[in-house]
Structure 1
Amino acid sequence: GKPPCSLAPVDPLKLKALSMGLSKELKILLIKIESAGRQTFNISEVEEQRIPLCKISIKNTATEVIRACKGTRVKGKFKESFVLPAFSVKPNIDIDIPIPREKLNPPTPSIYLESKRDAFSPVLLQFCTDPKNAVTVIRGLAGSLRLNLGLFSTKSLVEANSDHAVEVRTQVQQPADENWDSSGSAQTWPCESSRSHTTIAKYAQYQASSFQESLQEEKESENEEEGEQTSDQSATTKIIKFGTNIDLSDPKRWKPQLQELLKLPAFMRVESSNNMLSHVGHTILGMNTVQLYMKVPGSRTPGHQENNNFCSVNINIGPGDCEWFAVHEHYWEAINKFCEKHGVDYLTGSWWPVLEDLYSSNIPVYRFIQRPGDLVWINAGTVHWVQAVGWCNNIAWNVGPLNSYQYQLALERFEWNEVKKVKSIVPMIHVSWNVARTIKINDQDTFKMIKHCLMQSIKHIQILRDQLVAAGKKICYQSRVKDEPAYYCNECDVEVFDLLFVTSENSSKKTYVVHCEDCARAKSPSLAGVVVLEQYRIEELMRTYDSFVLVSNTS
């Protein structure tokens, strides 16, 4: 197979000219002058104003940004953050003042909707997305909106798609505020569960028989109370199975279920114009699609923040309850330290916080029960963990409301993931450009953050481009096609935007693999055998950048 574009031989003269440094140019403007009815031209010299790169800000035009890049000598790789700390909108939470014990269990904001109209009030969106509110429970939302949750009952699911895949986690059943180590002698953070697979029909059978067994046990224990105690129930460890990550993305298979969810207010829906996840341009399973969880008592979703700190929506279908624990984003680094201390990876491992550890570190924990029909809104960056109290199903997905707090936390986690070599499930640079192309932003903080990210993106692209050209590397333009996904480096999982470093893995199958610059150079320092593809013309990005402006609320 041929590489995507043929590599032309490098002209040594051109290389020499480029290596001699960037030539200065004198711009000549021809100015037309009318004088005594005759047109004459006046030649005027214009000195090119070049702003140094360090002085460039979002007030500058794309042309000025590009010009500053061209005038900068960058030794090695150019790397700057996409986040500007000066633009931060995080709430001020004083961590130095000790919180009295009774305040370490603050009441969870719970909203009772009087009417359907209340669900669609802008006040609800404001409340849920307020950076100070880590979590909001909307009580009985299903009832207020007349949502038919029966569509998600185990019986309905079996009737709809009995052979559908279910991921199973095998876990040890224990009280929600305990997590014992393997010897059973001390509380600990790591909580392991093994993974296997089954079908909806088979899990449904397990869920039902587990319920029947429990009824049977209750009956027996009532009988035992009259007679003698026969066995010490507490000594046996009970092993349970949790049916998780069931994918409800297929609109043909799950039509009535997905249609029912359109009754939700726009900001909670799986898809809406103000949701960043609706601007990814492709499916991210479980984030911009619905996932279902089938549970028996004790089923645990261990501690985590959502992918890229996005918000999440979770509805309990019932019939049983779930118990939730949540901590404000502000404390995530303290929790990360506990994970490190206990040898479990914060981002990718399974852990269940020991509440006493959190309280002794002055970290407040929200703890509440989610009943059937209750919707839990997890705000951006909130750390949370969940355990089923009864037998129940839950449905959940993510949303990315376009506000400054959500955008900032998503970008911060995007950069932290890169440091930790963890894939950012949301390609934030790709999403930021898509948002700039399609959405009018009227909030100043959000606008400044996105504009800054785009400016940093242009700088990275232009400087890298100039370095490649100066080294005589050919860049092949290959525009994007509809629904083309964002790209990630095959080695380090970082998002690769616009300039793709492509190698052909085997010539016969025509499989092309994308790398970031660093990983491509690690394989081949001179980039021999690497094709550089460019997905956007720089003029195209410049146009998007310049036309992305703050719009006033009135327009």
Structure 2
Amino acid sequence: MTAQQIIDECKKFSPKTTRIISSITSDDGYPPFPPDPPYPPLSREKLNPPTPSIYVESKKEAFSPELQQFCLSNHIAVIRGLSSVLKLDLGLFSTKTLVESNSDHYIEVRRQFMQPSDENWDPEHRDMVWYCESQRSHTTIARYGHYQALSFSESLKEDKEKNSTTIFRDSDSDSNSTFSKNTKKHKKYSMFKPVKFGTNVDLSDPKKWKIQLQELAKLPPFARVSSAANMLTHVGHTILGMNSVQLYMKVPGCRTPGHQENNNFCSVNINIGPGDCEWFGVAPEYWGVIHHICERNNINYLHGSWWPLLDDLYAENVPVYRFVQKPGDIVWVGAGTVHWVQAIGWCNNIAWNVGPFTSLQYDLAIKRYEWNKHENYKSIVPMINLSWNIARNVKISDKSVFTMMKLTLMRSLKYTIMLTNFIDDIGNEIILRQRDIQEPAHYCVVCDIEVFNILFVKEVDRKHVVHCFYCAQKMNNEFNDFVILKEYKLEELTKVYDNFQLITTASASTNLNNSNNNNQTSTPTTSISNNNSTTTVGGGGITSS
């Protein structure tokens, strides 16, 4: 369907009596819902699958398409040896270096309680629960570094004291003695000592963290923070922790509760060390089961903090990956994979998100985008803006990816036309306001959904804030208190829509071969703000033109 055909189709409907639908996944506006578990259920023996892992032994293997395909083919995977092969200087992300570089950099701290990774006790330490206790505060890298070092020193001291004390076995003493009772009681409750987790340390500023960010450019293109092969590079602005790097500073017992990545994007996580981390992962087709278990435990799947109990998952026939990430190991988290992590030792981790151009990734991203709207949860990846940016700057040779993106654009364009016709019909003026380069996407101040192109702006507390059509209409049917802006002319959007075409695999392969002949290990990048620069994606390769 061409843009003109969409315009003609919209003219058939009366603006005042037609429901204006903003969904990008359905024509009726209904959101996708949590999936039922796969059928038939797995047997008990298959509920602990081995974690896919690969050892990279050379730079050639590091940049091979096989490594990328290995990651894309698995829900979660461990890449070992890659850091050494690429000579990544992980010491740049050590606490010592971070303190020396930017000691006053503020970080978020979560106060948690140490306990075994397969247990989660309530605050009274009486029952095992799903709710994950956590209290938030803030500090600086220097202060957390001091805490981290002090925690390590205290642990060494405790170990030394234990080694210098005679250890009695139960068989060597009276099991009913006071000593035995006190020892067991101490063992049960000493694990609940508080620990502090330094989380979401923002490393996005290239001025502050230039050396660190340059080091990560050594990674293969599919795993880089910024790459033409990464959808999130085409957002057009920084999304903290997604298309920028975040650091996590840990002591034993620190937990990252269960979650799927924002909008179901993939993620890359590197353990800086010196200690290990324990990971748990569940394939995306089981997230509906976990969602229902959260509901049974009175926890909101998206807004709440939860730590899955393995026995509950096994009772529902949910298979769980479980493995240890050692220093230098890179964990690839596939699109939509549910995961949770606990530090075994003292360590730092760095992580970011990537969006490979696969049908699975795009499908899961837009479905979560619509589910988030239903659940009043903000999608920090603006999927509509992102899709239009990709249409402007990327040539797609994968037919399934292209078809889904074209459908998103069609629904978005239809919404814009229907909304414009409605506003014109009630006699309101729409003022053109061109978007600035790298201007962030706009979100409704009331419901937090992405507002694309047509903005309803109102002054609140001396600030001009954006509303979506639905929230603005609830406030005033005639929009008398609003200034209505549009960021793109209809002609601009229709041109982008019509020009976004599936390219043949043959031409994509020709471009890819030329690119590979020029530089085997480099990856071309494209600037979102430069409409003359486009990127070809598909057939396992990328190229810029």
TM-score normalized by the length of structure 2: 0.87
Cα offset, 1:94, TM superposition: 7.5
Per-residue deviation at 1:73? 2.9
2:50 equivalent among 100, 103, 107: 107
Letter in 1 for 2:66: V
Q: Is the 8 A contact 2:271 2:347 kept in 1?
A: yes
Aligned residue number for residue 40 of structure 1: none
| TM superposition shift of 1:402 | 1.6
Could you tell me whether the CA contact under 8 Å between 2:369 and 2:379 is conserved in 1?
A: yes
Cα deviation digits, residues 22-75 of structure 1 (max 9, x gap): xxxxxxxxxxxxxxxxxxxxxxxxxxxxxxxxxxxxxx1110111101112352
Matching residue within 136, 154, 159 for 1:195? 136
Look up the SS of the partner of 1:197 in the other structure: strand
**Per-residue CA shift, 1:84-132, capped at 9, x if unaligned?**
69xxxxxx998232322221010010011121111111122122122xx
Could you report, residue by residue, the CA deviation over 1:197-255 in whole angstroms, capped at 9, with x for unpaired residues?
Answer: 11111111111111111111111111222589796331332111111111111111111
**2:71 equivalent to 1:118:** no
In 1, the alpha carbon distance for the partners of 2:138 and 2:112 equals 14
Contact 2:283 2:337 in 1 (8 A): yes
Counterpart of 2:21, as a letter, is K
Structure 2 counterpart of 1:109, one-letter code: P
**Contact 2:454/2:486, CA 8 A, preserved across alignment:** yes
Using the alignment, how far apart are the partners of 1:93 and 1:271 within structure 2?
Answer: 35
The answer for unaligned runs of 5 or more in structure 1 is: 1-59, 86-91
- Whether the 8 Å CA contact 2:37–2:288 is kept in 1: the answer is no
Equivalent residue of 2:199, what SS?
A: strand
Letter of the aligned partner of 1:418 in structure 2?
A: K
Residue identity matched to 1:163:
D
2:8 is the counterpart of 1:81: no
- In structure 2, do the counterparts of structure 1 residues 122 and 171 end up closer, same or farther at CA, with 3 Å as the change threshold? same
Q: 1:279 aligns with which of 234, 257, 272?
A: 234
- Residue 494 of structure 2: aligned partner: 542
Corresponding residue for residue 433 of structure 1: 388
Matches within 5 A, 1:519-530: 519-530=471-482
Q: 1:80 to 1:513 in 2, by over 3 A?
A: closer
Question: Does the aligned pair in 1 maintain the 2:112–2:133 contact within 8 Å?
Answer: yes
Q: Which moved more, 1:71-80 or 1:305-314?
A: 71-80
Contact in 2 for aligned 1:84/1:452 (Cα 8 Å)? no
Confirm or deny that 1:210 pairs with 2:131: no
Distance 1:359 1:102 in 2: 10
Match of 1:267 among 222, 237, 244: 222
Helix, strand or coil at the partner of 2:408: helix
Q: 2:331 is paired with a residue of what secondary structure? A: strand
Question: Could you tell which deviates more after superposition, 478-487 or 94-103?
Answer: 94-103
Match of 1:381? 336
Which residue of structure 1 aligns with residue 103 of structure 2? 162
Map of 1:171 onto structure 2: 112
Task: Work out the CA distance in 2 between the residues paired with 1:167 and 1:81.
Answer: 35
For residue 531 of structure 2, what is the aligned residue in structure 1? none
**CA deviation after TM superposition for structure 1 residue 79, in Å:** 1.4
* Match runs of 1:6-21 below 5 Å: none
Between the aligned partners of 2:45 and 2:119, the Cα distance in structure 1 is: 20
Q: How many angstroms apart in 1 are the aligned matches of 2:36 and 2:138?
A: 43
What is the CA-CA distance between 1:314 and the residue it aligns to?
0.3
**Any idea what SS the aligned residue of 1:183 has?**
coil
In the alignment, structure 1 residue 68 sits paired with structure 2 residue 9: yes
Letter in 2 for 1:156: T
CA contact 1:84–1:449 (8 Å) conserved in 2: no
Report which stretch shifted further, 224-233 or 496-505.
224-233
Structure 1 contact 318–393 (Cα < 8 Å) conserved: yes
Q: What amino acid maps onto 2:477 in structure 1?
A: P
In structure 1, how many angstroms separate the alpha carbons of the residues matched to 2:49 and 2:43?
A: 11
Q: Is the 8 A contact 2:272 2:327 kept in 1?
A: yes
Give the aligned length.
Answer: 485
1:19 aligns with: none
Per the TM alignment, residue 76 of structure 1 is displaced from its structure 2 partner at its CA by: 4.5
Of 290, 300, 303 in structure 2, the residue corresponding to residue 345 of structure 1 is: 300
Aligned: 1:136 with 2:136: no
Task: Work out whether residues 113 and 194 of structure 2, in 8 Å CA contact, stay in contact via their aligned partners in 1.
Answer: yes
Alpha-carbon shift at residue 410 of structure 1 (Å): 0.6
Rounded Cα–Cα distance in structure 1 between residues aligned with 2:407 and 2:271: 39
Give unmatched runs, 5+ long, in structure 2: 28-34, 174-178, 508-545
Percent same amino acid at aligned positions?
Answer: 57
Q: Secondary structure at the match of 2:324?
A: strand
Whether the 8 Å contact between 1:83 and 1:449 is mirrored in structure 2 is no
Kindly provide the CA deviation profile for residues 176-199 of structure 1, in whole angstroms up to 9, marking residues without a partner as x. 000012232221100111011111
Deviates more, 1:263-272 or 1:114-123: 114-123
Partner secondary structure for residue 224 of structure 1? coil
RMSD: 1.7
Shift of 1:326: 0.3
How far did 1:81 drift? 3.4
How far apart in 2 are the matches of 1:485 and 1:168?
27
Give distance in 2, aligned partners of 1:348 and 1:512. Answer: 28
List per-residue Cα deviations over 1:386-413 (Å, max 9, x = no partner): 0000010000011111211111111001
The Cα shift of 1:256 comes to 1.0
Task: Return 358-367 or 467-476, whichever deviates more.
Answer: 467-476
Aligned residue type for 1:195: R
Higher Cα Rg: structure 1 or 2?
1
Tell me which amino acid in the other structure corresponds to 1:300: R
| Contact kept? 2:36, 2:289, Cα under 8 Å | no
Query: What does residue range 188-267 of structure 1 map to in structure 2 within 5 Å?
Result: 188-225=129-166, 232=183, 233-234=186-187, 235-236=189-190, 237-267=192-222
How much does 1:466 deviate? 0.6
Q: Partners in 2 of 1:494 and 1:517 — Cα distance?
A: 11
Equivalent position to 1:146, from 84, 87, 93: 87
